[in-house]
Structure 1
């Protein structure tokens, strides 16, 4: 019911959006500068949504709430567009050098787009005379692109890549103030249109790709960096409904109601499209009643359509959106997992079955007080489902939801206030990952390591599951290399699994929570859902045998020996936070620059110690602290381990005092 209410409310809010003032982006940018004025000239305050890489210029409401659309955010300070830092000076006092469009791509760190401009022979055009607008995908945007699609573009460099980049360009300069809500900009590829949305919250999108760095002025135009690669659009909303396998039920009822053809007409629409599974949740009796009442069916379907384009970036859609921003020639489609019900007695009466299911999941068959709850306890609900109890140092939780202080006991029961709606587990970890579809590589590695049964068997586990994005850029030979060393592979995979169920609400605030992995080493997590300094984009997916948290990076046990140099190099590409890599590089640096020994004489390194008596007292304290920290870690080679303490002292003496 909460999801239905949120969806209905979101639709109301979306429908009430007025067209944004063309300068909304600039107004938000001005506010961000004001918020960052203490940091120096030309600094902007941004808010990064926790657990994601999404950053937004701060507006007044988000600033005081410390959140973006209800999602907690941290404050960052960066140079405002067009400005640069100078060594030894506060803020961003320097104006960025102006260059042509090609050179500007490098200045704004859109180096992948710059490289593809070289490969596709677009460079002479964007270095030459003219007035262009380039909506340039960021490096991260190219990394997110499907590997097959990206390979196809690069392999057809004389045609496909050139055309794809031309689709991101307009033969006229458009600053953000010129990009008005609802306008269509003619691209340089076959004159196909680019749909612009300029929302009142300052967000500007191009075919639903958000401008993350705008108004990078060039001598021959302007560059706007966007957060995704956009593809040429040729289908209408009607076409997508008719060809999408997940929308066959919607296609049938839209045809019966007579509104399908209207979704093929020119216009600017947003369709929240219920999938086949969403219609199944209604029950066959409800669906049959709808199909026998054309007027009611038509009203229900129209409730899913807006007469304006609302991209997900403008509304930050909730968990009920399965697939977002399917851009068409006449609007955008978001796939949702529930049929939205208008707030009326006639239609809501059909939703009593769903309401009953939700409420029954929150009511226990027996009275249980707070003092009677214990870890591992299973409580049966009126609906026949079981809720597991998890006791943490500072929290008591049932499944994904933790109790708020203030439980009350009455004569006929007990009332416990929860921080969120309960979601009883219905699927195993293996089923969750398989049905999601974004964990094919991780599952294949688990199978190669003979660990798949671990995801299926009964138990209480916490899994930090690397998405396919975590393995971006790996070739088949790279994956085969990973699979070739079964012991190393098992060690890496088991490091992602913890024995015990740990949800976000159960982690203690303000400290580092150590979670012992099945590999044996500790994972470090905090209540903002960062594990080993890696962000967790989606968390608390409850499974019958534990809980799943998604991560976009591979985690690595720092004390694991790596025998193969090939495997070490592969891990360096994969892993964001890997201590052995850092320490290895520093040891070689020290060895070469301070000890001055040849690699073949490395066994004699222990004789080169730095006498404590030669150290200044202040630096000695620093060195002692640094050495104490580094001694917690182990190196990948027994030879390194043999002389690590002496060399590390040498290393920090060198770097701290000279």
Structure 2
């Protein structure tokens, strides 16, 4: 009994441990973006290292067993000129006489600090202590060096630092927007400052007199200009509170700015390529006395629209909008999160044969798979494509994404004709061709593409084409063209002259359920279409190779998926029992 109680306590502790970890990682349904927006001052959504200790009744504070997810390692906070701030004392946490769960979580904050939180829970009372490490007053961090070796006296404020970096346009516009005080004050900010060339995309005149003739002309659209409020909002949408160095920039992070916009950071190739709203960071970690500057090569785009709104409000996507409306995908494209959509234009759909397009639009199963093949469940900015890459679409099939020698980006055979149309939940790249996966094809069409075109001819003769097209979630063990050619000529003639007998043979190759390779188990008996006959499956493992047989035929090509089933190509024609 005592042993059972102890085991129960252990299981309870593990459940509490997992719940605590999940809660602190922000991994709940719909929690990604909302969690990121909820707390920008401290980012603990993915602690860098943490230790979970479970202390059993007889082990006191030094557990005989410790589950260590990651070990403490020396970091910058162990170097010189680092000051500690304690809330409670970790050494004063109780040892506990009985069962106790102890958790240590550490992670970096946006203000450049490093914080460790210690928690103890004996399931009667909870104890917490926190230690925060920051650079001592008058010192700052230096990339790649421990501690805080830089004296702040050696650093200039953000505005002077920007001026020293040659960002004269940014400095000029900041003056027009009356932001000098914020950029030279005591508060710490992270600034994504555009290069001088980037400012060519916005009007050079700023209207400050709201009742002036030029202001009224601007409202009528007669002259390009910015109002003071528009300029201020634009610049503040490049500024984030606190310190955010390159080491702290995370992939798919949403940052709340001081303006109306948000910044989505993306990092690729081990942070060799970092983007803010899909605009490339060309120079990072330019430290100032009151913050840090990352130089970007463009004005950060507005991210108020969702991916769905971007597509819906663009006249180039009429066919795409019609197709989306026949599925449940609009809610996916309008949800929080991150995604990349390769959006075919109306001209791209015009390249699809009309018969094929009509068949796709008429079959919602195939249509949904077609559309999902244009979506990747994470953000890929154009700058991230530096050569040949492979991505997996939301339908589970590969996409080849590459940048050629002419600096053009292709996705399979489609060219990206406009990239980086950014929304708050992802990015849209406009393409000139439709991407058709095998899972967007009816299973009858998959047969021909899988090397079983002779079987398609026999299916037509037997009058089974419409039957198989209308089936849902079926499996066809398809004899290859070679397998059918190896049949005696008299057998083929006898079958083709008797469609009923031919249909019986062909239905023996069809299983009225989807059975992928992973589902084929040794000794399994699978039902067949239109009869009580069953197919026997045998599976043999030969070192690094697995051989699958159905009856006496070997599977030579597996998992050729269609929108209504799967095809396995076999090397023999199956004969139903008589």
User: TM-score under structure 1 normalisation?
Assistant: 0.37
User: TM-score under structure 2 normalisation?
Assistant: 0.42
Larger radius of gyration: 2
Which structure is higher in strand share? 2
Which structure is higher in helix share? 1
